[in-house]
Amino acid sequence: MSVPPKVLEIAEAIRTMRVRGAGRIARAAVEALMEAAKQSKAKTVDQLVEELDRCAEILLATRPTAVSLPNGVRYVMSRVLSTAESSTDVEEVREAAVKAAEAFIRESKTAVKRIGEIGARMISDGETIMTHCQSSAVFEVLRRVVESGKSVRVIATETRPLYQGRLTAKLLSEVGIPVTVIVDGAARYMMPDVDRVLVGADAVAANGALVNKIGTSMIALAAYEARVPFFTAAETYKLSPETMLGELILIEERSPYEVIPEEMLKSMKGVSVRNPSFDVTPPEYIDGIITERGVVPPHGVVSLLYEVFGWMKADTLLRYQTYYRR
Ligand code: RI2
């Protein structure tokens, strides 16, 4: 069974972080499934499902943490599987895949916009906001704040090792927001200047814990200590349905050479590097989760999970997990 080059190309772009950000990687994976459905020469429904399953397997193995990716795959594949159950027409199943993919992409973009509207209303004129890494949901909130005539200042951590904070600073400055970049280790020192922390999300667990870029939990701790409110902006497809079944969210560990260049590290006998890409902020340190359905406290996540994913069959949920554990 051949996998379309476009699917391999998108998978590689996600793996190497040329396409990054939890929302973007989900949309890219769904687009890959759509391409696979469009290009398939399958003669039977079973063949088409098998081909799409193989593509899903490749896409799910790219990055393990952001749950938006398996949720996007599930959104499409659940519709493919239910159409395949009642139809022997390949075209009908192909159409179900394409329509589902288009709907997911459309809905996810709308969700980011809606988060922008809701989040912007919460922020008062003149606030100083600390953010970490680069998040399109956070960007949308801040963009809407200035669009509504309020002014904000942002303190952006540089976000080692890949420095996504520089990108955040550039994007915010382009919409007229003054930004101060700090090294990650300066977050606690700067906290007295901050009115609110606002970060993105890669996954939110059923107990309301947030999985986001490494360093987020230290910032949350410093915010808690200084009584600075801590919020995350997370579309509901970043809620992790498998955590309702007691599954843990896998934390991606990336190459040590992102931290110390290969040549230098190899010359340092006895030195090793750990490079976890994400950490877990416990619900106690989170004041609110801004979703497209409204702002919920961490303990509200479990009801939201039932509301958003209640329809999903358990076998679809478990079938499309990252690393594709069947
Ligand atoms: P949006 C990013 O992960 C960051 O951790 C960011 O907070 C999160 O995705 C959410 O991004 P990475 O892909 O969906 O840079 O809000 O590792 O853009």
Does 146 share its domain with 60?
Answer: no
Does 59 share its domain with 101?
Answer: yes
Q: Which ligand 1 atom lies nearest to the CA of residue 17? A: 13
Pocket flag, ligand 1, residue 215 (CB < 6 Å): no
At 87-110, the pLDDT tens digits run 999 999 999 999 999 999 999 999
* pLDDT tops 50 at residue 203: yes
Does 15 share its domain with 102?
Answer: yes
Q: What 3-state DSSP class applies to 267?
A: coil
Pocket flag, ligand 1, residue 165 (CB < 6 Å): no
| All residues at 6 or more sequence positions from 289 whose CB lies less than 8 Å from its CB, including other chains | 201, 204, 208, 210, 231, 232, 234, 295, 296, 297, 298, 300, 301
- List the CATH number of the domain containing 41: 1.20.120.420
Whole-model pTM? 0.94
**pLDDT band per the 50, 70, 90 thresholds, residue 157:** very high
At 1-38, the pLDDT tens digits run 789 999 999 999 999 999 999 999 999 999 999 999 99
Q: Which ligand 1 atom lies nearest to the CA of residue 252? A: 17
Does 124 share its domain with 235?
Answer: yes
Residue 81 alpha carbon to ligand 1 centre in Å: 29
Dist CA 165 CA 171 (whole Å) = 10
Does 107 share its domain with 177?
Answer: no
- List the CATH number of the domain containing 232: 3.40.50.10470
Does 205 share its domain with 319?
Answer: no
Does 279 share its domain with 158?
Answer: yes
Atom 1 of ligand 1, residue of closest alpha carbon: 135
pLDDT at 323: 59
Q: Is 202 a catalytic residue?
A: yes
Q: What is the tally of structural domains in the chain?
A: 2
Give residue 49's domain range: 5-111+311-324
Q: Is 133 a catalytic residue?
A: yes
Does 156 share its domain with 267?
Answer: yes
Does 134 share its domain with 195?
Answer: yes
Question: Active-site residue among 53, 55, 184, 202?
Answer: 202
- Best CA proximity match to 21, nearest among 109, 122, 116, 118: 109
Question: In 10 A of CB 180, how many CB atoms?
Answer: 14
Does 162 share its domain with 17?
Answer: no
* pLDDT tops 60 at residue 286: yes
Dist CA 283 CA 276 (whole Å) = 20
Does 58 share its domain with 155?
Answer: no
